[in-house]
Amino acid sequence: MRILVVEDEAKVARALQEGLEREEYTVVVARTGEEGFYLVSAEEFDLVILDLMLPGRDGLQVLSTLRKRGLVTPVLVLTARDAIEDRVQGLDRGADDYLVKPFAFPELLARIRALLRRGRTQQLTRLQLADLEMDLVVR
């Protein structure tokens, strides 16, 4: 399973990468919103862990743009923003889960497992190739 971690704090990014790799996930780290956006657009990931407070393009901008472009990859927001309004905004913009720093690593792992389980059970409902789009649900 490939996980993209978009986190600008080196210490946090390193701890996430090392902890997730111990759990046998393949981890790619991006340090800016732009880099994260590029990587998730260019490569395939099973999950994205996204900080909101990033240099340049912030996490909410990245998330909104990715969802508008049809990205269905699960996104877990991991941030220090703990206000209810921030959580609601993150989830409304397309996050599948929202976890506030500081966090317990076992809880993060449980949330990752839940998101990955959910991701595997999603049915493909739409196919798109260039301008041609086929809805597999509507007849």
pLDDT tier at 131, thresholds 50, 70, 90: confident
> Which class is domain 2-135?
alpha beta
Banded model confidence at residue 124, pLDDT cuts 50, 70, 90: low
Q: Look over the chain and give the mean of its residue pLDDT values, rounded to a whole number.
A: 91
Read off the pTM.
0.84
Q: How many angstroms separate the CA atoms of 98 and 37, rounded?
A: 19
Helix, strand, coil abundance in the chain, percent, nearest 5:
40, 20, 35
pLDDT score of 130: 80
For 37, 56, 108, the CA distances from 77, given in Å and listed in that order, are 14, 17, 11
Dump pLDDT digits (tens) for 19-64: 999 999 999 999 999 999 999 999 999 999 999 999 989 999 999 9
Average pLDDT score over residue span 66-85: 94
Domain locations in the chain? 2-135
